[in-house]
Chain A
Amino acid sequence: MTVTTADNTARAKGLTALANPTRFLALVRFVIWPLALATALAFAVGLWMSFSVPDDYQQGRTVRIMFVHVPSVWMAMGAYIVMVSGALGVLVWRHPLADVAARSAAPFGAAFTFLGLVTGSLWGEPMWGTWWVWDARLTSFLVLLIIYLGLIALWSAIEEPARSARLAAIVVLVGAINIPIIKFSVDWFTTLHQTASVVRMDGPALAPEFLYPLLVMALAFLLLFVTLHLAAMRNEILRRQIRTLQRKAARSARGGAA
Chain B
Amino acid sequence: NSDTGGDAGTGGDDKLVLGFSQVGAESGWRTANTTSVKEAAAEAGIELKFDDAQQKQENQIKAIRNFIQQKVDVIAFSPVVESGWDTVLKEAKDAGIPVILTDRAVDSADKSLYKTFLGSDFVKEGRLAGEWLVEETKSATGPVNIVELQGTTGSAPANDRKKGFGEAIAANPNLKIIASQSGDFTRAGGKAVMEQFLKANPKIDVLFAHNDDMGLGALEAITAAGKVPGKDIKIITVDAVKDGMQALADGKFNFIAECSPLLGPQLMDLAKKVHAGEEVPPRIETEETTFTQQTAKEALPTRKY
A and B: bona fide binding partners: no
Q: Which residues on A are within 8 Å of B, measured CB to CB?
A: none
